[in-house]
Structure 1
């Protein structure tokens, strides 16, 4: 068996999964199943949020060790699903090692149609506004604020802005537009309901869920790192809205911007 190719295959699978939102224990489990097909005595894997270390060795096989840094992270369940399918097929002897490696190199995210991607945040915002007891006017205001949110997110994707800067910019836009709608519609809308509903598409729900799951699995380093990441994202959202209110807050009490 080509142990170097096996290690590269397992490392590529782990990298794709970790970059696209998989929990660290799931990454370790997938890589472990791939590397165990070597039938070597020693298979060691360590996965943290920012890197992967793996090593295999045996009595007559020199150790093979790889380290892979993870520089970007996001959420794309389609990539995780594709990697899992390839891993299962290889471990089930349905495909050869070289075929598994080549298929992993061809794994790509499945993009949503641009129009659908534009309206998803809008639908989420309106749905949460309704669930929080918003009135018809609250929903109307959320539609307008949500259109701004979707426009900013679509524009940021085109020019390549992401991370905390995007969170601050989008939440600032949400806060500013909500204040404008309060000024225009007055007491007909509940500003709190509109703002809370509008920022829900930005809330790091997946990061929080993965942080809890990693912690419960005993991966405390990754769990704490994910909790910190989610906290920073939530703080950036709060900062953006807070700055908008601090600068243009007179609009909430009937003043002008």
Structure 2
């Protein structure tokens, strides 16, 4: 394999790794494609093409040799905007000629392996407190603040636990919302809480896919119809799972 062909594949690997990290971390489709194209152009490949969907990336470059194309699959997606910012920073350094291909690849590998997420207990605590704050924001009573905190925190813990048992988002979201509704009914029936609807609304807010909905709309506005519709469908399924869990509680326990 000649040096030019080896260099071409190295640049493709750098661009694909950057795109993979960004897509797995919650970046919009158009941002991923733009970053990959800019990085390739900075390394001398002005004619590159990327096609990004929520589950895969196809990237090709054109040069003196026949067009080279690579495909990678995306299995897991989460929200880690710090990684998106770090990859954007590396992309800017590449554009300003501060990093070579090897240095950029090593920097991206460090970003991929880094753990930027907060500890699980802190995430659960934040979900619990935010549930109580959402209740107050929706004009709930202060007496319902603690029930919303407990219901929201328990629901978030249930979401993570059941998703680890069965890696199907719909199942874990359905069970978590059912548990939230059940806890809210228990508080109201025992006289500890007053308004079951406000407790439930505040408690399910940490489960709502806000970033996914935002990215779906932004991708649609940017003309990425496939990615926008697929993300919108994923957000709809999440909303449907949450609503189904709460509806089951009402159908079983409401009088």
Structure 1 length-normalised TM: 0.90
Match of 2:49, SS state, is strand
Match of 1:112, SS state, is coil
Q: Is the 8 A contact 2:156 2:206 kept in 1?
A: no
Q: Is the 8 A contact 1:79 1:109 kept in 2?
A: no
Of 149, 169, 177 in structure 2, the residue corresponding to residue 171 of structure 1 is: 177
How far apart are 1:154 and its partner, in Å?
5.0
Structure 1 unaligned segments of length 5 or more: list them. Answer: 251-257
Measure, in 2, the Cα distance between the counterparts of 1:39 and 1:99: 16
Q: Is the 8 A contact 1:25 1:219 kept in 2?
A: yes
Measure, in 1, the Cα distance between the counterparts of 2:128 and 2:73: 35
Structure 2 unaligned segments of length 5 or more: list them. Answer: none
Of 144, 147, 170 in structure 2, the residue corresponding to residue 141 of structure 1 is: 147
Q: Is the 8 A contact 1:149 1:174 kept in 2?
A: yes
C-alpha RMSD over aligned residues:
1.8
Match of 2:60, SS state, is strand
2:225 paired residue number: 220
4+ residue segments displaced more than 6 Å:
none
Q: Is the 8 A contact 1:211 1:226 kept in 2?
A: yes
2:115 paired residue number: 109
Match of 2:190, SS state, is helix
Measure, in 1, the Cα distance between the counterparts of 2:156 and 2:244: 19
Residues 1:90 and 1:40: Cα distance change in structure 2 (over 3 Å): closer
Match of 1:231, SS state, is helix
Measure, in 2, the Cα distance between the counterparts of 1:86 and 1:182: 52
Of 73, 91, 95 in structure 1, the residue corresponding to residue 99 of structure 2 is: 95
How far apart are 1:162 and its partner, in Å?
5.4
Measure, in 2, the Cα distance between the counterparts of 1:41 and 1:112: 39
- Bigger mean CA deviation after superposition, 26-35 or 239-248: 239-248
How far apart are 1:38 and its partner, in Å?
3.5
Q: Is the 8 A contact 2:127 2:206 kept in 1?
A: yes
Structure 2 length-normalised TM: 0.91
Measure, in 1, the Cα distance between the counterparts of 2:245 and 2:218: 29
Aligned length: 248
How far apart are 1:45 and its partner, in Å?
1.2
Q: Is residue 2:237 matched to residue 1:235?
A: no
Measure, in 2, the Cα distance between the counterparts of 1:94 and 1:161: 41
Of 2, 16, 41 in structure 2, the residue corresponding to residue 11 of structure 1 is: 16
2:207 paired residue number: 202
Measure, in 2, the Cα distance between the counterparts of 1:197 and 1:111: 24
